[in-house]
Structure formats: C-alpha cells, structure tokens
A = this chain, B = another copy of it.
Amino acid sequence: MSLTPDLRAALHGVTTATLTTVLLKQGLRNCWIRGAMPLTGAARGTRVVGEAFTLRFIPMREDLATPASWGNPISTRAAIEAMPEGAIAVADAMGVTDAGIFGDILCQRMAVRRVAALVTDGVMRDLAGVEGTGLPVWARGTAAPASIAGLTFVGWNEPVACGGVAVFAGDVIVADTDGAVAIPKDMVAAVAEAAVEQEAMEAWIMEEARKGAALPGLYPMNAETKARYDAFRAGKG
C-alpha cells in the first residue's frame, strides 16, 4: 500500500496546486486530471486523499450497452462491490459529456461502502439524487442519459486515461477546489515530503505579500529572503 496514514495526513494538508509544482520539479508536468472539478456539495471546499480504484469505459455498442448489461459479471455494479473503503474511484469516461456514468443509486452504494470519492473526466446523472447521497464527486458536469447511451463498461483496476492523465490502480489521488491530481504510487513519499515543505514556504511568502512585499526577490526567494525564511523556520522548530 502506497498510502500510509502518515502520508495521507501529510497530503491532506497540501493543495493540489502545490502538488503539481512539486511533481513538475520531479519531472512530471502531466498529472492534473482535466475536467474533473468539484461537482457535488460534498466535494466543494474540501480535500480528499485516497488510492485510485480505476474504472474503464469504451464507446457504446448498441448490442452491448443495454439495460440488461447492468446485470453482467463485468459491470459498474460489480466494480462498486469490489471497491475498498477509503478508495477513490477514478472513471475513464473518455471525456464523454452526454452520458452520465453514475446516478443516485450507484453513488448511494459507494457512500454506504465508504468509498472516499468519485473522480471522472465524464459526467454524472441524476444530480439531485447524487447530492442526497453525500458522495464527494469531481466530474465535468451533468447529463440526464445513462452511461449506456454512450459508453460500454469493460473493467476495473486496469491502467486508464482520465482527463489526459495516465492513472494506475494504487496511484494516490488528491482532489480539492482546483481539481484532482494523480501521484504515481512510487513517488508518493517523496512528493508528500517536498510538498509539505513547499506549502509551508508558500504560506510564509503569502504572508509577506499580504504585508506589502514586492515580488522580485520574494517569489522565488533570493538569498536574503531565503535567509529570513530559514530563520523563521528555525524559530518555529
């Protein structure tokens, strides 16, 4: 398991904006899931951290994407029953915006199973009902039609594309007001450590900016500012 309780706690304290900066410094520019923005009330103003449980869709084929298919062994229903508590479901909906992947009943079941959140580059349906389940959802929006109007479900915990980002089962997802970021599972510890440090530094810089400091020399810090900041950090220690 890549996400220890300590790492989970550390990541809860850093913004996705900071995470993307740290990941860029470590060589990854493409880690932010396009289109997955806070959709439900439970997703707004909060931050979730969890391991990715991936879901994969391909385009609708009329003879496969039927109401009857919902009872298949490989179905979104079966996938939900396999989700562990605390996981974040990451659904590759190919960015489709005219077929809602999940509605109230499936979200209700995810909430009962204590899934931490649903993140998708697609859209939801039955938004009023989904709000009622309390599940935090990051998505591109809402559409009335069911997934089968445009999509065929093919499996879970395979590598997927979500919002232009590669996501593997077990990658760590952090989602907040700025959207959702995927941290490769092997990098989680290093990223969390650097991010906590970066977050503290930016908080101090923000305070300086609030007091009226000019940006040159402050952000990024020059040597003199760095010395002042180091003194501050030492003092806090």
Contacts and interface: CB of A to CB of B under 8 A. Distances in A.
A144 interface: yes
Interface in A46-72: 58-64, 67-68, 70-71
Contacts of A25: 67
Chain A's interface: helix, strand, loop or mixed, by majority?
A: mixed
B19 A144 contact: yes
Looking at chain A, what size class is its interface with the partner chain? 35 or more
Contacts of A209: 105, 108-109, 112
Nearest to A69: B220
B215 A106 contact: yes
B61 A108 contact: no
Contacts of A60: 29-30, 166
Interface of A: 15-17, 19-21, 24-25, 27-32, 34, 37, 45, 58-64, 67-68, 70-71, 77-78, 80-81, 94, 97-98, 100, 103-106, 108-109, 112, 125-129, 141-146, 148-150, 152, 154-155, 158-161, 164-167, 176-179, 181, 184, 202, 205-206, 209-210, 212, 214-216, 219-220, 222
